[in-house]
């Protein structure tokens, strides 16, 4: 099984999802999204696949959230997506995509729903 993981190694949830994918024997493409952030277009695709609005993928406790005044823009999909593309620390993680679907895997055990 092929899986893509948008990963931050400093995040315990992200490390947990990676471990579960490895235990399942998945062929994993790991994308350190802080180094290789998704574009706004890629974020739109991921959000559509997950069935989530942009606000549900947003890390609101990051300093840049307040700096950009995003609390006042929570209903502005385009503004939130553009902010996440420009400041990938705002993207919640881990995001996992397999042939069974795409999900924000918080908690990491959510990854089980994406495994064969």
pLDDT of 32-55, one tens digit each? 999 999 999 999 999 999 999 999
DSSP 113: G
φ/ψ (deg, to 5) at 29: -95, 115
Beta strands in 19-78 (DSSP E): 27-32
Range of the domain at 28: 1-33+93-116
Structure tokens at 12: 């315990």
- Both 29 and 46 in one domain: the answer is no
| Res 1 pLDDT > 90 | no
Given 11, 24, 30, 74, which residue is catalytic?
Answer: 11
The rounded distance, in Å, linking the Cα atoms of 12 and 35 is 18
84 and 112 share one domain: no
Decide: helix, strand or coil at residue 34: coil
Peptide bond into 107 cis (omega under 30): yes
User: Are residues 79 and 114 part of one domain?
Assistant: no
CATH code, domain with 104: 3.40.30.10
Q: Is the pLDDT of residue 116 over 90?
A: no
pLDDT mean across residues, the chain? 97
105 belongs to the catalytic site: no
């Amino acid at each position: 099984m092929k899986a893509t993981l948008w990963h931050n190694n400093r995040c315990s949830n992200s490390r947990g999802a990676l471990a579960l994918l490895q235990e399942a024997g998945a062929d994993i493409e790991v994308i350190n999204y802080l180094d290789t952030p998704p574009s706004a277009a890629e974020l739109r695709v991921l959000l559509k696949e997950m069935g989530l609005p942009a606000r549900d993928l947003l890390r609101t406790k990051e300093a840049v959230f307040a700096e950009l005044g995003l609390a006042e823009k929570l209903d502005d999909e385009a503004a939130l997506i553009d902010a996440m593309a420009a400041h990938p620390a705002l993207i919640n993680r881990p995001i996992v995509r397999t042939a069974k679907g795409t999900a924000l895997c918080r908690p990491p055990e959510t990854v089980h729903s994406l495994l064969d």
